[in-house]
Structure formats: structure tokens, C-alpha cells
């Protein structure tokens, strides 16, 4: 059985002091019953050490929101996989649509970043998804197939637990417009079919494909009930304990 994942992408929210308080409160609120689903939080880089310390010994894992593909070098302002691993992260979000839209990320840079994450034994949470215009032009499948194959080009993952895909339709991110269960399931099943062709059906069956885009406690259970939706990547609603815990409970 695949274990679902609920991951919170904090984006550029919360200071280190707010992070410490938030994680301690989250631990308290979750109690000891946290092995299902897997819970991941992805705070901003400067908050990561505090988050790792506050989450130590709990079931909450810490991710970064980005990394550079080189291990070190003259790349002012960048952070490498080696650094992320050393600070205690286990996962890293790669290819988020905001990185693609505002910071020039392409399938090629995403591909190099996924390779770097795997090289440092970090689990990539590989994001992809179409814009509203692309969906309206009937291009959803063309876009996600390009992103999936581009991002995983020359990558041969062997352990399905160590790769996570997040389908995040851009039109649903931060807009309050959630994809319907049918819309999301259709793309998830398509992605799983592609992964089966790339890495074999056993791998494809076991890899977790998360949905992201305006997940709330009120719509999470319905989305997670779909056959090919293995949890969620949550933005806005992961910033309040009650909402985040509500979504975690929906994944149980």
C-alpha cells in the first residue's frame, strides 16, 4: 500500500521565530498518531534549521522549496543539494510553477535539479501542470507529457518511494479554483500511465502523485479519494495549523 503524503509549501511566508512556534504547535496538535499520511513542511531556506530542530523526533519531515543543480561553486544566492542534505532536509520541491513563471525555470533546469536531489539522497517533489490557456486550448496532456519527460530525462529512479510527482494545474494555484476530482484524476491516471512506460508498471503503481491547487479541509477528502491521487501539496491552507491538520486528517 502506498502511504499518502500531505506536504505544505510555505512559499515566502513565516520568519524563523514564527517557524519554531508553528512546528511546536503542529507537533502538539498531531500527537503521536502521525505515521499515516507522511507529513512534510517546506519552509523558506532561512527557517529550515529551526524547522528541523523543532520537528526532530516527530513524524514531520522538512523540505526545501528549491536547490541549485551544482554541489558548490560561484553561484551567488544559491543553495546546493549537499547543503540541504546537511541541514537535515529529506525532500526538496522542484519545478514549482512560480519558479517556472518568475525565475525562468525550464524543463532542462528542472531536470538538472532532480538529478542533483537524487545524487544527494533527497526526495524530489517534482511539480508540473498546465496553465488556464493551455487547458482551454486542449493542451493539458501535451504540456504535462513534455514536463514529465523533460524533467526526468536521463534519470533512472529505482525506488518509487524516492520520487514524488505533484500535479499542480497553474490555474488552481492560489486562486481558490480547485480542480474537480474528475479533472485531477484524469491527469493523474495519465501521468501514471506515462511513468509506467518510462519505468515499468510496478514503479508507476507505487510512485506517489500528489495534487496541488487550492486544497482546503473542505475539498481534500474528495480529492484524496480518487484512485490515482496519493495526497496533496498544499500552499495557502498549510499556513494555519487548523487547516493543515484538517487536510492531514482527510488523508488518513
Residue 136 known to be catalytic:
no
Residue of 68, 96, 120, 188 marked active site: 96
- Binding ligand PGA (rule: CB under 6 A), the pick from 173, 207, 220, 247 is 173
Residue 96 known to be catalytic:
yes
| Full DSSP string of 92-127 | EEES-HHHHHHS---HHHHHHHHHHHHHTT-EEEEE
Residue nearest to ligand PGA (CB): 235
| Full DSSP string of 124-138 | EEEEE---HHHHHTT
Site string for ligand PGA, 222-241 (x = CB under 6 A): -----------xxxxx----
| Smallest separation, CB 172 to ligand PGA (Å) | 6
End-to-end CA distance of the chain: 13
Where in 189-228 is the site for ligand PGA (CB under 6 A)?
212-215
* d(C-alpha 69, C-alpha 7), whole Å: 22
Site string for ligand PGA, 143-172 (x = CB under 6 A): -------------------------x----
The answer to whether the CB of 109 falls within 8 A of the CB of 66 is no
Answer yes or no whether residue 124 interacts with ligand PGA by CB under 6 A: no
Q: Which helix (H) or strand (E) holds 202?
A: helix 201-206
CA distances for 144 relative to 60, 107, 124, 149, 194, angstroms: 30, 11, 17, 8, 10
Where in 5-34 is the site for ligand PGA (CB under 6 A)?
9
Residue carrying C-alpha cell 540541504 = 84
When the beta carbons of 171 and 199 are compared against ligand PGA, the nearer one is: 171
When the beta carbons of 114 and 127 are compared against ligand PGA, the nearer one is: 127
- For ligand PGA, the binding residues (CB under 6 A) are 9, 168, 173-174, 212-215, 233-237
Residues designated as active site: 96, 168
Amino acid at each position: 500500500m502506498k502511504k499518502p503524503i500531505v506536504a505544505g509549501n510555505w512559499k515566502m511566508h513565516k520568519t524563523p521565530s514564527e517557524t519554531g512556534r508553528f512546528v511546536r504547535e503542529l507537533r502538539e496538535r498531531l500527537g503521536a498518531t502521525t505515521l499515516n499520511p507522511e507529513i512534510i513542511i517546506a519552509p523558506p531556506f532561512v527557517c529550515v534549521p529551526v524547522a528541523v530542530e523543532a520537528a526532530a523526533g516527530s513524524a514531520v519531515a522538512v523540505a526545501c522549496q528549491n536547490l541549485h543543480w551544482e554541489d558548490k561553486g560561484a553561484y551567488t544566492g544559491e543553495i546546493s543539494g549537499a547543503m540541504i542534505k546537511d541541514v537535515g532536509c529529506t525532500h526538496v520541491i522542484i519545478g514549482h510553477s512560480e519558479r517556472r513563471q518568475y525565475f525562468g525555470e525550464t524543463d532542462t533546469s528542472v531536470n538538472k535539479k532532480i538529478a542533483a536531489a537524487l545524487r544527494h539522497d533527497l526526495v524530489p517533489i517534482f511539480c508540473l501542470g498546465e496553465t488556464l490557456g493551455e487547458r482551454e486550448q486542449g493542451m493539458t496532456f501535451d504540456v504535462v507529457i513534455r514536463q514529465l519527460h523533460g524533467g526526468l530525462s536521463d534519470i533512472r529512479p529505482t525506488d518509487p518511494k524516492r520520487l514524488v510527482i505533484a500535479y499542480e494545474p497553474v490555474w488552481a494555484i492560489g486562486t481558490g479554483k480547485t480542480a474537480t476530482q474528475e479533472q485531477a484524476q484524469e491527469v493523474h491516471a495519465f501521468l501514471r500511465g506515462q511513468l509506467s512506460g518510462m519505468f515499468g508498471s510496478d514503479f508507476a503503481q507505487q510512485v506517489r502523485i500528489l495534487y496541488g491547487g487550492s486544497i482546503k479541509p473542505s475539498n481534500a477528502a474528495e480529492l484524496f479519494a480518487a484512485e490515482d491521487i496519493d495526497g496533496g501539496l498544499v500552499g495557502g491552507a498549510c499556513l494555519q495549523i487548523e487547516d493543515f491538520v484538517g487536510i492531514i486528517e482527510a488523508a488518513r
